[in-house]
Chain A
Amino acid sequence: MSALRTLLAFLRRDFLIEVSYRTSFLMQAFGIFFSVLIWYFVSRVVNAPPTTPGLEGVDYFAYVLLGLALLHYLSSAMMSFGGKVRSEQMTGTLEAMLVTPTPIGTIVLGSSLWDFLLTSIKVIAYLVIGRLFFHVVIHLDSLLPVLLIITLTVLAFSGIGILSAAFVLYLKRGDPITFLVASASALVGGVFYPPEDMPVWLGGWSRLLPITYALHALRRALLRGSRFADLLPDIRALVVFAAVLLPLGVLAFRFAVRKARQEGSLVQY
């Protein structure tokens, strides 16, 4: 309960900072609209029929719209944990927080919470803009499975993000996790094009990335209205990713904190 109250304090802090920039929300909303608009015109040029292997019966614009939306979650997880640790180190606020009795795990989680909330709003905005302005058909009858998939996706991505934060704490710069996972996800994760359309030796790597399963399941649920049973294989894969990545991230982070306290480099950057 106390941890929850502390997390709410982080949300309030970041909300107050966000609204202190007068045009921030407006610009972000315009940014999402323009991004959707650009991909709408790209999809008209690509003009891939829904029968294209990997598109699973949906048109290319709907396919990429969901890819873009989920890529935001991945970016948030990747950038938020490590990025916040680094920026708080640089401004000196990390030290000020670490001398309080709040556990460091709560501090890192709390610092990233606003980004996840904002990303969730952005993801909804992508879908709403797609639906209202570009007539993308969104099926909402599988809402519960969709929420489950999103939760598992966020947990799995957070594991990677916390791992990235551990690298930031220990190595300061040169975090290889963000670069590797973000690049690989964009390249072979099925964000912009189906991995099935790639050479097998390259597209095969997509099986090692949680975004592949998250996108596959979400497209089926939201764009095709698939039932829970059809989504189960992807959900199982996401459970495995979350079960492995989250504890791994937490363990690595604990190790990094201990090493940084031993080296006296907890607040160095």
Chain B
Amino acid sequence: MDGGRAGAASPVAILAERLSKVYVKRRSLREIAGRPFRRAERITALAELSLEARAGEIFGLLGPNGAGKTTFLKILAGLILPTAGRALVRGIDVARHDQAVKRSIGFVTSDERSFYWRLTGLENLEFFGRLYGLSAGQARSAGRSLMQVMEMETLANRQFMSYSTGMKQRLAIARALLHDPPVLCLDEPTRSLDPIAAKHLRRFVIERLNRERGKTVLLATHNLQEAEEMCGRLVVLDRGRVLRQGSLAEITAGLPGRDHYILLVSGLGSPPADPRWSVEVERRDGTLARLSASVDRDGRAFSDLLRGLLEARGTIVSCARREPGLQEVFDMMAPDGERREP
């Protein structure tokens, strides 16, 4: 975990209070003809979402598809009106003063098409800069400077259509930074990137945008590793509801399940057996064995395992706790029968 450097006293950048969004599904002519008096279906995208992202932190919205992440970001960007509750960006209500809020946020979608393909990267940035209220000179200067920041200066005068997916995504981030907003909303920014480009982008957001420029970043992702790497605090959403929120440690605390350890033990015959743990010998190298252990979180089980290993004439060379992945956390939080593919 790398992002989220804000202290507890930092001012609030984004605040959602009991924010709800219910979509009324529009019925097709066929449905109306078939069942004319049937009530239109209602789909809850957000159900009383409350959260608080502090200024200068990277805050994660984590959840599977349909969790409500994009709906929340679009409410902040003024594209969708909430059904109930309110959302504030730096103290300004997004439903009432969307124009003012738009000056404070940069919005990056994973949609790489959202540029004019026959214009160059720089021409695109200049155009969008004008829409953010910059003068022609300011837009050109901001575009050039951001191209440099994005390490794309050699591509500035190439048509957008010749860019790779990674370049397009970087240009989308550059566009969101044209008006130098304090808050950046990233909607699955690495979705269509290869692992190397995705890693590069994550480092860029953490180091250049969050640490150096102090941007507050709201990151919507269903990529568990990404959330782990980038976000100081996060909310886990499922079908519009908050399952948990806080730091990863806070989210995982008190969850049912087991902790995982990697142990290097020498001189061990067979590992001790007990229903409270399961131990697998992953590899043996002479007398040295590498063990993978899953142990109940009951407080005593881990001590008993260590005692068992010592009693089996083993010498514990090293022991490391493996942090649970968010996939495991999500599985633990989702009620039985409601788990789904991320």
Contacts and interface: CB of A to CB of B under 8 A. Distances in A.
Interface string B144-176: 000000000000000100000000000000010
B78 A98 contact: yes
A250 to B, nearest CB: 18
- Interface size class of chain B, counting residues whose CB lies under 8 Å from the partner chain: 35 or more
B339 interface: no
14 contacts: A9-B131, A9-B136, A17-B118, A20-B119, A97-B131, A98-B77, A98-B78, A99-B78, A101-B100, A101-B131, A102-B132, A261-B78, A261-B81, A264-B45
Contacts of B111: 92, 95
B71 A264 contact: yes
Given A92-B111, A93-B115, A13 B79 contact: no
Contact of A101 (B24, B79, B115, B132): B132
A16 B123 contact: yes
Given A9-B131, A263-B23, A264-B21, 10 more contacts: A6-B130, A12-B127, A13-B123, A17-B116, A96-B115, A98-B77, A101-B99, A103-B99, A263-B26, A266-B80
A264 B74 contact: yes
A100 interface: yes
Interface residues of A, number: 30
Interface in A205-235: none
A147 to B, nearest CB: 29
B135 interface: yes
B66 to A, nearest CB: 13
B103 interface: yes
A261 B21 CA distance: 11
A256 B99 CA distance: 18
A95 B79 contact: yes
Give the one of A2, A5, A9, A101 with max B CB within 10 A.
A101
Interface string B66-108: 0000010010011111000000000000000001101101010
A206 to B, nearest CB: 33
B114 A95 contact: yes
A23 interface: no
Contacts of B133: 2, 101-102
Nearest to A106: B131
A95 B102 CA distance: 13
A241 B119 CA distance: 38
For the complex of A and B, the 4 pairs showing the least CB-CB separation, nearest first, are A92-B114, A9-B130, A100-B131, A20-B118
Contacts of B115: 93, 96
A93 B131 contact: no
B114 A96 contact: yes
Contacts of A5: 130, 135-136
A91 B23 CA distance: 24
Nearest to B113: A92
Contacts of A263: 23-24, 26
B109 interface: yes
B302 interface: no
Nearest to A265: B26
Interface in B1-55: 21, 23-24, 26, 45
Contacts of B132: 100-102
Give the one of A2, A13, A96, A262 with max B CB within 10 A.
A96
B277 interface: no
A96 B118 CA distance: 16
Contact of A96 (B23, B126, B128, B130): B128
A107 B127 CA distance: 12
Given A93-B115, A264-B21, A99 B107 contact: yes
Given A6-B131, A261-B80, A267-B79, A95 B109 contact: yes
A97 B100 CA distance: 15
A206 B60 CA distance: 60
Nearest to A6: B130
A20 B124 CA distance: 14
A17 B161 CA distance: 12
A16 B109 CA distance: 25
Contacts of B113: 91-93
A17 B102 contact: no
Contacts of A96: 109, 114-115, 128, 175
A264 B80 contact: yes
A17 to B, nearest CB: 5
